[in-house]
Amino acid sequence: MAVDPKHASVNGRKRSPRPQKSHREVADELRARIRSGELQPGQRMPTQARLADEFGVERGAVRQALRILQSEHLLTNVSKGSPATVAADPGRALTGPGAPPLPTMVALAPRIGAAFAAPHVEIDALCLTAISLTLAIGEPLRQIHAGRLKPAKVDVRVLLPSSHIDLAFPAPVDATAAGRLRRHWLAQRNAQGQVLQHNLLALRATHGIDVRVTFRALPFTPPVKLYLLNGAEALFAYYMVTRREEEVDHESLEMYDAEGTRSMLFAFEQGAGLRDTTFVEQSHLWFNSLWETISSELELTS
């Protein structure tokens, strides 16, 4: 008996009744097919209509899933008009479940970009200066301004060290330069936070997106950085402290510091196994415990 094309599944797979999948589950399944070689480099994907039919979801969920894979460099030519194409070299894709740890500068931006495909974007971050977050959020902002992304709501919470504590790092090798280095770090923290805040809040006026950005101050120097994305992912890295030299106020200064953009980022995903799921859940509980108890209001001017 002939099979109605409307009900044919991708790659001949027979679809069985099941609860409607989320766009992330659709992305996970398609990602697995690409990584396994079932979908070959350069191959055109099935149409969005066929994918929606196979997975039992709306086309909007399929588009969100495809955008996630595009942000991970697994797909190209994602648009409403024609099927996407598997990247020429998907083995070089930098993110997704099972990907190796990579420097924050490399790994964070694709995950932030994927998070912005959701209607309600939720990002929690614990870090030293917010430099990595500010850089990573640049690409989804460009996608929004280009009309390729349109979240309805964006909530960002950031925990940063207080300006009223003695930082463990950065710290000068020569203690007499502590004041100079402290002022330098504080100016950097405030500048990055202000840029992040300004760029996100501007989305209210330019695109009518409901945006909220909140900062709170920690009474300690965080030895790790943590990014929590849409309640589904936790990205974790250690700050590796080294001795290095930097120009501060036009003078060379030796210090103990950690370059956060080079910190290796480990990814954990809700639903990717008991260990990953528990790590994501516990990370949220830890972040909220700091936010709601020992943190305090933070002004990006002091």
In the predicted structure, residue 250 carries a pLDDT above the cut 70? yes
Over residues 129-149, the pLDDT tens digits come to 999 999 999 989 998 998 888
Mean residue pLDDT of the chain comes to 87
Q: Which CATH number fits domain 23-89: 3.90.660.10, 3.40.1080.10, 1.20.950.20, 1.10.10.10?
A: 1.10.10.10
Model confidence, pTM: 0.71
The Cα–Cα gap between 107 and 132 comes to 10
Residue 9 pLDDT: 46
Q: Locate 114 and state its tokens.
A: 């994927």
Q: How many CB atoms lie within 10 A of CB 101?
A: 14
Residue 3 pLDDT: 45
Report how far Cα 17 is from the mean position of its chain's Cα atoms: 33
Residue 138 pLDDT: 92
Over residues 205-244, the pLDDT tens digits come to 999 999 999 999 999 999 999 999 999 999 999 999 999 9
Q: Locate 126 and state its tokens.
A: 């614990």
DSSP string, 140-156: HHHHHHTTS---SEEEE
What does the domain layout of the chain look like in residue ranges? 23-89, 95-297
